[in-house]
Structure 1
Amino acid sequence: MTSTKTVLITGTSSGIGLAAAVGAAQAGWTAVATMRDPAKAEALLKAATDAGVADRVRVERLDVTDPASITACLDKVMAEHGRLDALVNNAGAAQVGTIEQSSLDDVRAAMEVNFFGVVAVTRAALPHLRASRGRVITVTSVGGAVGQPFNEAYCAAKFAVEGFMQSLAPVAATVGVDVTVVEPGAVASEFVANLGLDLPAMLAAMGPYAPALQAYIARTQESFAGAQTPAEAAAPIVEALTAARPPFRVQTSQWARDFVATTLADLDGSAVRDLTATWVR
């Protein structure tokens, strides 16, 4: 049991999740840093040690697509820490492709991790968050506000998460739980590298969509050249953890704010359509 506030963070083996776990620990929280394979915790534990907060980081196994894993993890958190004050839904997986060339299984897999995993962990955590009057913070993406070429399944999942959380927020508030979504833009992390794409093979299989994909890849590589660091993208997560009343929607950079503003002010959809059309030609 502990009087220190406890946060459970999913997807912490690298990138934003790793940085958020270290940042939360630096802010005085006990960070329960979860991942599908705890054997991949070496980078996290080194970062926590380097930051002087290894004693406040606990690595646990959690697969957001496995109900038994979710239950086991939360049971262990409550048994060992006696409380859960915040949940950070960060685990996710990219999916690049277009629907004519993708299988429905590809789409379902993207939804399972990026949407249903978020729903499942949030549902399981809510009784504990009600008890602590805590908060749910979910990492979505600028792709949860602006649909992007060759990211149909990924953006569909992120749009779904934003709709889910926006709908949940006023209901959760009636029982003392704050809800926030955090929208990063390009982040220099292993998220894209973990796709493991064979781009020549993918282009060869794209048929009539190959020129558009080639243009999209070139534009994306250029955008990632100026990407935020994971620590920069994680900073607003830590701020949302500690704020007296966090906002519902937070972007992680000025670029992300400007980009998301395109869709929030775009009543007829033409601004987004005209913008993203330039990415594929």
Structure 2
Amino acid sequence: MSTLPTPSTPSVTAPDAAVRTVLITGTSSGIGLAAAIAAARAGWRTVATLRDTGRADALRKAAAEEGVTLDIRQLDVVDEESVAAAVNGVIADYGRLDAVVNNAGAGHVGTLELESVADVREVMEVNFFGVLNVSKAALPHLRATGGRLITVTSVGGVIGQPFNEAYCAAKFAVEGYMESLAPVAGAVGVDVSVIEPGAVATEFVNNIGLDIEARIAAAGPYADALRHYVERTVGQFLDGAQTPAGAAEAVMEALTADRPAFRIQTSQWAREFTGTKLADQDGSAVVGMTGTWVS
């Protein structure tokens, strides 16, 4: 009978070992930036990582305005060597890792007939396998400190949304993986939580890089449905989007609560929206609701 290898437990001794250390991915903007500032303000040694450190100006400016110190480092979640270098660097410099916030990800709008399977794989690589890369590298160190593994997913990880098939599939995968991992990690002292934001200001329009009119013009038989979807969704982001700082409060809840919940929504709207799915045993309520978005 085969046995699982026993990973080594890293040392957590260091001159300043009592200071809690958190590593956050995807901190150039949005929730990641806000969470990094909030964690530093709360007294955490905060390692704020991003794929391109040339995009760290907003992060540095926010830290200066708040009077907090961040350790800004490069980390590309889809590059295992980059992930290992970042995590190992934190341990080498600080001797411990108490929490990880998987925030890095990429939005995507499309539908199966109009895009390639390779496009879908790319979305999964960033939003799902990137989370696994960071979590796997961090877990031995989180075991050593009785730490926390926190992942920002989406309400799209609970309710599938039109023209978001690939994005929602990746977020569904993250939710399923972490829900399955939670009791296993808990058995070795690591708390696992997922954070479920709804619309957050600037993310949809600015981060997806979607040329709306060009995409609709190229949508063929899906053009009308896509236009309805875009009008509804852009309106939601412009009129009712939550601030990144508001969403980051849920990250801090997972980071600091004595017994953090597994699933934490970032707003009352997100709680009500995900509640539709969690109470919908035959799926008719969700499909009926999202059907109105495209007609």
TM class by shorter chain equals over 0.9
Q: CA deviation at 1:189?
A: 3.0
Q: How does 1:1-281 map to 2 (within 5 A)?
A: 1=14, 2=16, 3-53=18-68, 55=69, 57-190=70-203, 192-224=205-237, 225-281=239-295
Asked if the contact 1:33/1:60 (under 8 Å) is kept, the reply is yes
Give TM-score scaled by structure 1 length.
0.98
Paired residues in the alignment total 279
Cα deviation 1:68-105 (Å, max 9, x = unaligned): 00010011100111100000000000110100001111
Please tell me whether the aligned partners of residues 198 and 266 of structure 2 are also in contact (alpha carbons under 8 angstroms): yes
Following superposition, the deviation at residue 199 of structure 1 comes to: 1.5
Equivalent residue letter for 1:207: G
- Partner Cα separation in structure 2 for residue 254 and residue 266 of structure 1: 19
- Counterpart Cα distance in 2 of 1:268 and 1:154: 23
Identity of aligned residues (%): 65
Return the alpha-carbon distance in structure 2 between the equivalents of residues 245 and 59 of structure 1: 29
Give, in angstroms, the shift of residue 147 of structure 1: 0.2
For 2:75 and 2:191, the matched residues in 1 are separated by 23
What is the deviation of 1:190? 4.0
Contact 1:240-1:246 at 8 Å conserved across structures? yes
Match of 1:194, SS?
A: helix
Unaligned runs of 5+ in 1: none
Is the 1:169–1:178 contact (alpha carbons within 8 Å) kept by the matching residues of 2? yes
Q: After TM superposition, give the deviation of residue 191 of structure 1 in Å.
A: 5.3
Gaps of 5+ in 2: 1-13
TM-superposed deviation, 1:15: 0.2
The answer to whether the Cα contact below 8 Å between 2:205 and 2:234 also exists between their aligned partners in 1 is no
TM-score by length of structure 2 reads 0.93
Cα distance in 2, alignment partners of residues 80 and 223 from structure 1: 43
Q: Quote the offset at 1:45 in angstroms.
A: 1.1
- Deviation, 1:205, is 1.1
- 2:9 equivalent in structure 1: none
Cα deviation code 1:218-276 (max 9, x no counterpart): 00011112100000001110111111110000000000000000000000000000000
How far apart are the structure 2 equivalents of 1:274 and 1:112?
A: 30
Deviation at 1:194, TM superposition (A): 2.1
CA contact (8 A) 2:103 2:151 kept: yes
Q: CA RMSD in A?
A: 0.8
Distance 1:192 1:82, change over 3 A: farther
Asked whether the equivalents of residues 77 and 131 of structure 2 are also in contact (C-alpha less than 8 Å), the reply is yes
How far residue 126 of structure 1 moved from its aligned partner, in angstroms, is 0.2
